[in-house]
Structure 1
Amino acid sequence: MKSKDLQKLVFCKYEQGDGPTKIFRDLNGFVGLCTVNRWCKMIRGTGSIQLSTSPGAPRLARTIALEFGSKIFGEHGIFQQDGAKPHVHHLTQEWCQDKFSSFIDKDHWPPNSPDLNPLDYSMWDEFAIAINWKTVISKTTLIEELKRAVKEIRQDVILQSCSSWTIRLQRVLKNDGCYLNK
């Protein structure tokens, strides 16, 4: 579910009299309680949810993305994000343009295309198989297990997934921009 859709849902539930805790429970973990509280406070104060800056912790994510990309792909990698609000924020776009030798900006990447996102068409399956859910009993053990599992993804799978991107792009173009059939 997109952030805007979640914001609309929180707004409607709040307008119907639901409190932040009930809204949080109803959303079943899609949005954290702190975020729901912040959005409800915005609704009380302004009558709407207005986000003026890119949410999240971009410094950490950016540093990790840059280090990982350089290590895996060297100077030959092309960096592409999805249409998430933090990714299309002008400061994120400027940072990526400055840091990556090849970068597909928000106006040139295909929106919502699982056929052109290596994570969607390849990596998530490999990652999910590597996770040992029996070891997860808390947030801390979940984080530890995710870190361990991501290291289990074979490098040949990563490289094959990324190298097939241009072929997939050509197939999408031949298919008039529509989703690919498996």
Structure 2
Amino acid sequence: MVWLGACSKGVTPLVILDEGTVDHAVYIEKVLLVALKYGNQVFGSDWVFQQDGAKPHSHHLTQQWCRDNFPSFISKDCWPPNSPNLNPLDYSIWDELVNIINWNKVQSKTTLIQQIKSSFKNIRESVVFESCASFTNRLYHLCQNDGNYLR
């Protein structure tokens, strides 16, 4: 499992969870603490955390942790489920990462992790900034399309 956050200022540190199942407790301990530290360093106390509807994200203890710790947070009840059109990682940044990876060097889990770590450093800032900048426009078009996928 690979986690990455994106915002108008760039991407968060990469988190690779390569052992066991990622439940809400692991997500809080290994991912949300990274997101909180990054957000506070970059934006101070004026930022909003948003995530998708994965089970560890929508667990009631995760939701409570987010309410208690982030300066502002969009809860699972206020975010559409299965909304890749509203996630810059899903509609742009993961594709950028996949295209940077040297797949010829991937022979095992270990080499895959090595390639992800080295390729992550080469994600173009312009891709991150443009994908985040298009968020408001995507939100508008999604509303105009009754919440259906954008084409």
TM-score between both structures, scaled by the size of structure 1: 0.63
Among 95, 105, 110, the alignment partner of 1:140 is 110
- Tell me the number of residue pairs that the alignment of Structure 1 and Structure 2 aligns: 132
Higher relative helix content = 1
Structure 1 residues 131 and 80, CA gap change in structure 2 (3 angstroms): same
Among 94, 110, 128, the alignment partner of 2:64 is 94
* Secondary structure class of the residue paired with 2:121: helix
Among 127, 131, 140, the alignment partner of 1:157 is 127
Higher relative contact order (CA 8 A, sep 6+): 2
Residue-by-residue CA offset, 1:97-151 (whole Å, 9 max, x unaligned): 2222231101000110111111111111111111111222222221121111112
- Contact 2:27-2:56 within 8 A present in 1 as well: no
In 2, Cα distance between equivalents of 1:68 and 1:158: 16
Computed over aligned residues only, the root mean square deviation of the Cα atoms, in angstroms, reads: 2.4
In 2, Cα distance between equivalents of 1:151 and 1:71: 19
Q: 5+ unaligned residues in a row in structure 2: which ranges?
A: 1-19
Structure 1 residues 137 and 69, CA gap change in structure 2 (3 angstroms): farther
Structure 1 residues 149 and 110, CA gap change in structure 2 (3 angstroms): same
Which residue of structure 2 aligns with residue 27 of structure 1?
none
Structure having the higher Rg: 1
Higher relative strand content = 2
Structure 1 residues 79 and 64, CA gap change in structure 2 (3 angstroms): same
Structure 1 residues 135 and 73, CA gap change in structure 2 (3 angstroms): farther
